Structure 1
Amino acid sequence: MEIIQKNLSTASYQTKAMLTGYLQTPVPKSPVQQFRPLIFVPGGSMTHIPVEQTEKTALSFSARGFQVFVLRYTFTSEHQPVYPNPLIDLALAVALLRKQAAAWHLKADQLTIMGFSAGGHVTALYNDYWHTKWLRRLSGVASDQLRPNAVILGYPVIDLNLGFPKDATTRAKWADDPARYNAAAHVNDLNAPTFMWTTFTDQVVPVQNTLSYSQALLAHRIPQELHVFAHGPHGMDIANALVAHHDDVDQPHVAHWVELACEWIDDLFK
């Protein structure tokens, strides 16, 4: 495996955003010579990325046959309000994967973006906005290169007025117009099929966020799969001992979401 890092700045857009790729090399003569690409957009309240958990989640999907890339997007310490910069960062990451598809052994038409918590907000919004003129203009990339083929959301922030961020000061660091960044309000007929999971007892990002996005997808007849697990704290990642930053995270039942998501992708692209 080769680990690569790419800064996502362009001539017209300067950013500290980085894309880290965990690149597998195909086995000679194996029937698998290309891999499904997955861009992982971690959480961290728009202030940081939890590196240790993020690496383990990325490698978990790598072990399941994905070519995994982790997006370190713009933080509130670097730009306020932070939006729309994280969306531009993700657009540039998607475009880079499409450009490097041959060199990185990617199935470019089976590209999944996956976001958790605050990263889930970025990912859900991108699912809404990838085709818009304003994102095309700000990224400098044609819309046909920006399309996600599938989306995975884990305990995502969806509506900035639905329990997280917790206060107006923090919301202002995220967005100058919360309504524009209500991901449920901007779902449309061009959204990609979406897999979502959360827990009923999440005390940080209420379950209503995920349910509101699910309802919006349903209204537009966008294919979706939704799992609300009965128990579990916020920030579970792959929900096993490797990422257990406290005792409640290691939950084998919730950890099933990884296999469920992979089965869903297999079915979507079969």
Structure 2
Amino acid sequence: MEIKKFKVGNYHAEVTALLGDSGVKFEAKPAVVICPGGSYMYVSKREAEPIAYDFLAQGYQVFILRYSTIGSMIEAEGRTAERDEMYKIASMVEPDKVLGSEFPNPLIELALTLAHIRENIHEYNVDSDNIGVLGFSAGGHLAASLGVHWNQEWLGELTGKESRWYRPNFQVLGYPILDYDMNRIIAEERGIGDPQYMSMASRMVFGGTIEDDILDKATVKNYVSKNTPPTFLWHTGEDRLVFIKNSLDFADALEQHNVPWELHTFHKGDHGLSVATNITGKVNPHVQKWVPLMFEWLDEIT
């Protein structure tokens, strides 16, 4: 395996490429760009390499996007911070300070990542017609944002690229948050969730002031169309941070637009399971099945 890294965007995003065979003498491989979760506050480690190795084993070239967050900003300054300390730092951020995590900046970084891969397919030994995105939680929101907005003129203006360079051929979404306002309303109705955490997470995504236009564009189910790529979703019914209705509503929107989709729901299991094995520290043998189910689905649609 060969490891390469490159920067994207104007803040502190970095991509780690995990490559199997590469070079023009080898057959081009499918590729996936992984967007770990972390509330747009940090990038979760257990939602990065663990699933990356599964894709490598299946013959994919893998790219992990560590998009701009307050966590990557801290690291860029040469510091480290545990999650609890990061929450404390995030709670004290000035309303007008730009962190790089605000929508649509991570989306721009993801689009530029796919464009970079397609512009360098011979270096990475990638099939330009089989490049997808995968995301968990907030990373699922990021992946889905590209899936619904890739052909929008405004995104092309922000990236300076033609949309064909960053069109995803498929998307995989694990317990994704796809409607922030709806998720907040459900939490309030059920009397669960930490209001302070939810407010802080909102600040990471929307900045100090939530603009109606940005909230609308970030509500990705509103923009599902016939141009949305084939989608694989999975979620757990016991998730009390990102409610399963996020995935149910998105699947319904995909169905209405005749987009190929597959949704797997598991009753047991809390938020953030990733591959649900020992390597992640959250073991759930039943939920682990989403990984082989996903690869079976990918074999069918690609």
Per the normalisation by structure 1, the TM-score is: 0.90
Residue 34 of structure 1: CA displacement?
2.1
**Which residue, 133, 158, 166 being the options, matches 1:138?**
158
Structure 2: distance between partners of 1:63 and 1:262: 11
Residue 269 of structure 2 corresponds to which residue in structure 1?
232
Deviation digits for residues 162-201 of structure 1, max 9, x if unmatched?
3259534532431233222111111112100000001111
Task: Determine if the alignment matches structure 1 residue 4 to structure 2 residue 4.
Answer: yes
Structure 2: distance between partners of 1:88 and 1:50: 20
Q: Contact 1:76/1:82 (CA < 8 Å) preserved in 2?
A: no
Q: Contact 2:236/2:267 (CA < 8 Å) preserved in 1?
A: yes
Structure 1: distance between partners of 2:180 and 2:70: 15
Give the match's secondary structure for 2:126.
coil
Give the match's secondary structure for 1:69.
strand
Residue 63 of structure 2 corresponds to which residue in structure 1?
69
Residue 125 of structure 1: CA displacement?
1.2
Query: How many residue pairs were aligned?
Result: 259
Distance 1:45-1:265 versus aligned 2 partners, 3 A rule: same
Structure 1: distance between partners of 2:201 and 2:33: 26
Q: Which runs of 5+ in 2 are unaligned?
A: 74-97, 185-193
Residue 98 of structure 1: CA displacement?
0.4
Residue 33 of structure 1: CA displacement?
2.2
Q: Read off the aligned partner of 1:174 and give its amino acid letter.
A: V
Task: Determine if the alignment matches structure 1 residue 218 to structure 2 residue 255.
Answer: yes
Structure 2: distance between partners of 1:27 and 1:216: 40
Q: Contact 2:36/2:47 (CA < 8 Å) preserved in 1?
A: no
Give the match's secondary structure for 2:18.
strand
Give the match's secondary structure for 2:115.
helix
Deviation digits for residues 59-104 of structure 1, max 9, x if unmatched?
1211121101000112157535711101100000010110111111
Structure 1: distance between partners of 2:289 and 2:163: 34
Q: Contact 1:214/1:224 (CA < 8 Å) preserved in 2?
A: yes
Q: Contact 2:170/2:231 (CA < 8 Å) preserved in 1?
A: yes
Residue 105 of structure 1 corresponds to which residue in structure 2?
125
Structure 1: distance between partners of 2:257 and 2:24: 44
Per the normalisation by structure 2, the TM-score is: 0.81
Residue 253 of structure 1 corresponds to which residue in structure 2?
286
C-alpha RMSD of matched pairs (Å) = 2.0
Give the match's secondary structure for 1:260.
helix
Q: Contact 1:36/1:111 (CA < 8 Å) preserved in 2?
A: yes
Q: Contact 1:76/1:174 (CA < 8 Å) preserved in 2?
A: no
Residue 231 of structure 2 corresponds to which residue in structure 1?
194
Larger radius of gyration: 2
Residue 115 of structure 1 corresponds to which residue in structure 2?
135
**Which residue, 235, 246, 249 being the options, matches 1:209?**
246
Structure 2: distance between partners of 1:22 and 1:169: 33
Q: Contact 2:33/2:132 (CA < 8 Å) preserved in 1?
A: yes
Deviation digits for residues 213-239 of structure 1, max 9, x if unmatched?
111111111110000011111111111
Give the match's secondary structure for 1:196.
strand
Structure 1 stretch 20-29 or stretch 63-72: which is displaced more?
20-29
Q: Which runs of 5+ in 1 are unaligned?
A: none
Residue 178 of structure 2 corresponds to which residue in structure 1?
158
Q: Read off the aligned partner of 1:227 and give its amino acid letter.
A: H
Give the match's secondary structure for 2:171.
strand
Structure 2: distance between partners of 1:127 and 1:235: 22
Q: Read off the aligned partner of 1:90 and give its amino acid letter.
A: L
Q: Read off the aligned partner of 1:221 and give its amino acid letter.
A: N
Distance 1:129-1:76 versus aligned 2 partners, 3 A rule: farther
Residue 189 of structure 2 corresponds to which residue in structure 1?
none
Structure 2: distance between partners of 1:224 and 1:52: 26
Task: Determine if the alignment matches structure 1 residue 93 to structure 2 residue 96.
Answer: no
Structure 2: distance between partners of 1:168 and 1:160: 11
Residue 50 of structure 1: CA displacement?
2.0
Q: Contact 2:38/2:44 (CA < 8 Å) preserved in 1?
A: yes
Residue 45 of structure 1: CA displacement?
0.8
**Which residue, 262, 265, 269 being the options, matches 2:298?**
265
Structure 1 stretch 46-55 or stretch 260-269: which is displaced more?
46-55
